[in-house]
Amino acid sequence: MDKKLLDFGRIGITLSFFASTLLYATNGDNLIGVGTKARGMGGAGIAVHHGAESILQNPALITDVENTEVSFGGTIFMPDIKTQLNTNPQAPLPLQNKLTSDADFNIIPEVSLAQKINKNFYIGVGMWGTAGMGVDYSQGEGIRNTISVGQFSNFDMVTNLQLMQFAVPIAYKANGLSVAIAPILQYGNLDINYAMPIDQQGTINSFGAGLAQDLGFGCSIGLIYDFSNGLSAGAVYKSKIDIEYTNQLTTATVPFGIILSEGDHLQQPAELGIGLAYTMGQHTFAVDYKNIKWSDSKGYQDFGWVDQHVMAFGYEFSQDNWTLRAGYNHGSSPVKETANPAINMFNLLGFPATAKQHYTIGGTYEITHQLSIDLAYVYSPTATKTFDVSQLGMGIDTVTTDHLESSASFQLTYRF
């Protein structure tokens, strides 16, 4: 086999592996919102009272529950990711096929409970899937069937990253002001398997470090002030949460000479958000701004991620026992083209966190005052990016990725 093909195989699988483990996509690898009501309003939930589901958006908002409220449901997340390597006519490597990941269906659970202790104090507990990804190229053309003609078939790669967060908020309310703190326990697991050529004769070997998992700790601090004229203003800070996936990232990078400054650590970034909401009769308007600090997070900073600015706009109309919602979410991509072609290859071939726009609709139907059903649908149109990787000397000029996603959320809420 041509040495350039072999070198491309080694580097390409490393970069593909890294990036593909992370993307669950939306705002970076975070969901645009946790909770069906917030998702129906474009992710806006820092200053809008959504009851128990607000624990992770802004824990101070649980002070809106009448007595005890529990919400449970989940999101069906459906990403559609396609990537193509573009070669010049003189390249020894033929044009690669555009491949689509078969990991296009994920279920993300959510359970929240909030309870009023007395007129001033509230407590809650919640568990949510908040981020992660899996890609599956094992059902495609297959590297063993295509390596002889220079097609690497994304190396039959199968990856899976899952992040779950558990929080127990304590909130205090006095007059129109509510403040809260929510300690957070995060569970993460990461598993990778792939195949690649190991010599110039095209010998194929399979690699995988097995499942790695770890726990991390952080906290969320929130406040909300409800003015008497229907205006609400909120703010929330969420700390970094560090996870170490022992042997996963270093196993993949060391053989290829890629050194990560933080080893096997991936750190979910700190977030700072502010929000405004205004209710006028049956109408509620909301806007949130969040700054997500990817550039200051272990793992992400090694690959040139930049801080992300996210705006969420939501509208809600209520009448009798039903509510309609709509929203729009825009987040600048944390992945930017850099002067390092290896990083460019990594960020688009394996980690195309390029989704920017999200359009949302949702609604609630109250069966009784105690029981209601919440629904939401989120659509993100195709975002296409092309990065230059010609300086890698592989015969590949650019990498192009198309990223589309949609999701449907369902939730039951019970008050007692």
Domain of 282, CATH number, reads 2.40.160.60
- CA pair distance 111, 407, nearest whole angstrom: 18
DSSP tag of 348: I
Domain that holds residue 78: 3-415
CB 287 within 8 A of CB 316: no
Beta-carbon contacts of residue 405 (< 8 Å; ≥ 6 apart) = 25, 26, 77, 78, 79, 80, 355, 378, 379, 380
State the amino acid at position 30 in one-letter form. Answer: N
- CA pair distance 82, 100, nearest whole angstrom: 5
- CA pair distance 398, 87, nearest whole angstrom: 7
3-class DSSP state of 347: helix
Beta-carbon contacts of residue 389 (< 8 Å; ≥ 6 apart) = 341, 342, 344, 345, 396, 397, 398, 399
pLDDT top residue among 161 and 356: 356
Nearest to 220 by CA among 208, 204, 238, 233: 238
- CA pair distance 325, 329, nearest whole angstrom: 13
**pLDDT tens readout for residues 329-366:** 999 888 888 888 877 877 777 677 788 899 999 999 99
Looking at mean pLDDT, say which of 62-71, 86-95, 243-252 comes out highest. 62-71
Average pLDDT over residues 91-101: 78
Q: Residue 145 pLDDT more than 90? A: no
Residue with tokens 């990078």: 253
Main-chain phi, psi angles of 396, to 5 degrees? -105, 125
Q: How many domains does the chain fold into?
A: 1
Q: How confident is the model at residue 304 (pLDDT cuts 50, 70, 90)?
A: confident
- In this structure, the strands spanning 177-197 and 212-226 are antiparallel
DSSP tag of 270: P
Indicate the pTM of the whole model. 0.88
Q: How confident is the model at residue 285 (pLDDT cuts 50, 70, 90)?
A: very high
